[in-house]
Amino acid sequence: MRLQTGMDPEDSKPMRSIGAGVREIRIRTGDQYRVIYTAVFSEAIYVLSGFQKKSQRTPKSEIEKAKLRLAALRDYRGNL
């Protein structure tokens, strides 16, 4: 709900290594999950990646996937 109203979720952090306005939500339910998203566009919240976290570090493959998806999103928006 916080995200829908323009506020940051309580358990999140910026992911500047991916891009400006990109954040990671931490979901802890016994197992740990992460959702990498951007909410800088007025029409939607875009999920760039979601995965189960098995170590302290975010896997490089997930970071690269999110970077590629963010670039594709920016390209798409630029071509509208």
Tell me the per-residue pLDDT of 64-77, one tens digit each, with 9 for 90 and over: 999 999 999 999 98
Confidence at residue 80, expressed as pLDDT on a 0 to 100 scale:
61
Q: How do residues 6-37 score in pLDDT, each as one tens digit?
A: 788 888 999 999 999 999 999 988 899 999 99
Structural domain spans, the chain = 3-78
Which parts of 1-80 fold into alpha helices (H)?
60-78
3 state DSSP class of 8: coil
Q: What is the CA radius of gyration of the chain?
A: 13
pTM score: 0.88
Tens of pLDDT, residue by residue over 46-61, are 999 999 988 888 999 9
- Cβ neighbors of 23 (< 8 A, separation 6 or more) are 8, 9, 12, 13, 14, 15, 36, 37, 38, 39
